[in-house]
């Protein structure tokens, strides 16, 4: 029998995370390899100029170059850079010593998508704190399951008939009824993953950088929300997609659109594939964020009021956007399964 869609979604979500990490691992080590090669060439050039060549045969010259071909100069420069960062503690991981299975496995478990040689590290693993996080995760997961079964699922089932007949008033009523429990489940889900789960991974790996989100709930624009609510993904897209596009000469507006298109593809895949039905609601919903960014910026400038901008954000996301998306997905999947 086919596995549950929620389990499929979790497996697919984790596969995407691993894929993003491998891309970052490859890009970072490629840059380190290029820098290492340039530093080595400069070191060899300076050494060859300082060593007199008169009286040396070809084998002697080769011996001089081999002796000068050491990673010491490159690592010394990295050591100097790492020493200036207050949050990093020696001994430092260096290139190419970082190219090991242990280093890769640590990065796979660490709560970050962007690879680098060294991260801030905590002193030790706090056992009581780990147990406390696990207890909270279980409690929040139970709250989410209760709310879905008790409030969200019955509302979605009652929305099928109005969706069939396109009864706008009834759909609006179901939309508003769904918005409150959906907001609670969404907030609990955010707290479960970004605060509890990522801090759990950070604690067991002694990962020191634990800023996984900022105050997105105070966002006055959609742009501010996407910059602050999911820092691991935002940092990955900025580092491995947005800035490379700008370096290639891509206009800033087009680069933003391509970043949202990239995110839209994976939103659609993670949501639709577990149900074996592609509807493109998440894809176009993500693309719609681009004009909404300009709209919310216009509203923010027009009223210059934090309440107006923040209320617009919450209404677009929690009262209209997410509930409507859930109703449309539920109806499409129900209709697809009914035909099958």
pLDDT tens per residue, the chain (340 residues)? 567 888 889 999 999 999 999 999 999 999 889 888 777 666 555 555 544 433 334 333 333 333 444 556 677 777 777 777 777 878 888 888 899 999 999 999 999 999 999 999 888 999 999 999 999 999 999 999 999 999 999 999 999 998 988 889 999 999 999 999 999 999 999 999 999 999 999 999 999 889 999 999 988 888 889 999 999 999 999 999 999 999 999 999 899 999 999 999 999 999 888 888 888 888 998 888 888 888 888 888 888 777 877 888 888 888 888 899 899 999 988 888 887 6
3-state class (DSSP) for residue 170: helix
Please list the residues that pair with 339 across neighbouring strands: none
Residue 283 near residue 203 (C-beta atoms within 8 A)? no
Angle between helices 252-272 and 5-50 (to 10 degrees): 140
Total-model pTM: 0.85
To 5 degrees, how large is the angle CA 207–CA 212–CA 215? 145
Least Cα distance to 303 among 220, 190, 186, 243 occurs for 220
Query: Which listed residue (27, 195, 267, 277) is catalytic?
Result: 267
Active site residue 267: yes
198: Cβ contacts below 8 Å, ≥ 6 apart: 111, 210, 212, 232
């Amino acid at each position: 029998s086919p596995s549950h869609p929620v389990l499929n979604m979790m497996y697919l979500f984790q596969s995407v995370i691993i894929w993003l990490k491998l891309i970052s691992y490859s890009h970072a080590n490629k840059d380190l390899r290029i820098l290492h090669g340039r530093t080595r060439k400069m070191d060899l050039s300076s050494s060859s100029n300082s060593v007199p060549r008169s009286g040396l045969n070809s084998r002697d010259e080769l011996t001089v170059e081999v002796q000068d071909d050491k990673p010491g100069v490159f690592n010394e420069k990295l050591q100097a850079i790492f020493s200036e960062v207050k949050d990093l503690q020696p001994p430092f991981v260096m290139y190419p010593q970082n190219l090991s299975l242990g280093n890769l496995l640590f990065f796979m478990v660490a709560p970050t998508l962007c690879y680098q040689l060294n991260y801030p590290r905590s002193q030790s693993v706090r056992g009581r704190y780990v147990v406390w996080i696990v207890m909270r995760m279980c409690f929040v997961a139970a709250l989410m399951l209760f709310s879905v079964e008790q409030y969200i699922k019955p509302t979605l089932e009652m929305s099928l008939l109005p969706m069939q007949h396109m009864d706008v008033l009834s759909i609006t009523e179901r939309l508003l009824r769904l918005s409150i429990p959906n907001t609670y489940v969404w907030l609990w889900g955010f707290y479960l993953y970004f605060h509890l789960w990522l801090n759990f991974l950070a604690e067991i790996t002694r990962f020191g950088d634990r800023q996984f989100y900022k105050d997105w709930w105070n966002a006055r624009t959609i742009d501010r929300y996407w910059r602050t609510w999911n820092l691991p993904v935002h940092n990955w897209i900025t580092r491995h997609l947005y800035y490379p596009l700008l370096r290639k000469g891509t206009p800033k507006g087009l680069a933003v659109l391509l970043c949202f298109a990239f995110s839209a593809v994976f939103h659609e895949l993670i949501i639709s594939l577990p149900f074996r039905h592609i509807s493109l609601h998440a894809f176009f919903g993500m693309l719609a964020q681009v004009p909404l960014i300009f709209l919310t910026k216009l509203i923010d400038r027009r009223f210059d009021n934090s309440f107006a901008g923040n209320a617009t954000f919450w209404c677009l996301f929690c009262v209209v956007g997410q509930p409507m998306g859930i109703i449309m997905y539920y109806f499409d999947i129900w209709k697809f399964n009914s035909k099958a």
